[in-house]
Amino acid sequence: MKPKKYKYLTVLFIAIALISACGEKEPDYVNIWLHFEAKLKVYPTKDTINIGDTIWIEANIPDTLLEITRKQYYKIDRKYLSGLLSFQRLVNPATGLAMQDGVADTYGSEAVLGTLGKVSSSFIRYNFETDDALGRFKFAFIPKVTGVHHISTLTDSPGTYGTLQSHIELGLNAEGKKQVARIERIYFRFNEAGSGYHIFKQHCYAVSEKTDHHSATYIERDGAYTFVVK
């Protein structure tokens, strides 16, 4: 009798699962992941600097930014503006950035505007100071070890659901569903087109040479500064 009893229970559970599935409604919207571009100022941008020299990174980010996939400007909720600065020493030309040495914890730093937070071997967390017009910061960084250094930055990934931008109207898609705008990332362009990419290519495997995906382009080239510390 036991096998028959278990058989009936199994059928019952399957029936309950099917009924539950039938009761679930398909969402009447679709998430649209937006990727924005903002600009930072980095100076001085020399190929070679000395230990103890100061590198300045400044931001004056407006509340309207370019969405790099759609090539349109949208007003965004700037409470999202925080992120990570990456500091790496390029030690192996055969590997990508992820396999290079992190040196963030070897830098001296000062926040003139905005705040600097937790420091790990590869990253320094930062926050903007925001007002009605701009999201701003001004940070000073002082290298204390020699080698070929690479600095880049991007905003934190907000996770699976992104940062909702309910004020951005994207209309309906081809299936008649509402398109809901969410920020996935904000990429930063250093001094319009980055600096030191010719040095980067000599000391690190350049993924952006193999793909035109914007994440590789910004992190290695347009949104980065590569230089030699002596």
Confidence (pTM):
0.80
Burial degree of 129 (CB within 10 A; 0-12, 13-18, 19+)? middle
Pairing of strands 55-62, 29-43: antiparallel
Task: Round to whole Å and give the CA distance between 204 and 132.
Answer: 40
How confident is the model at residue 160, as a pLDDT? Answer: 46
Please tell me the total number of residues recorded for the chain in this structure: 230
3-state secondary structure of 212: coil
How confident is the model at residue 134, as a pLDDT? Answer: 76
Distances (CA, A) of 121 to 27, 108, 200, 226: 42, 13, 20, 18
Q: Find out whether the peptide bond into 143 is cis, omega within 30 degrees of 0.
A: no
How confident is the model at residue 202, as a pLDDT? Answer: 96
Task: Round to whole Å and give the CA distance between 186 and 194.
Answer: 16
Block means of pLDDT (10 residues each) for the chain, length 230 residues? 51 53 68 89 95 95 89 81 89 95 97 93 89 84 98 69 77 91 86 89 94 84 95
End-to-end CA distance of the chain: 82
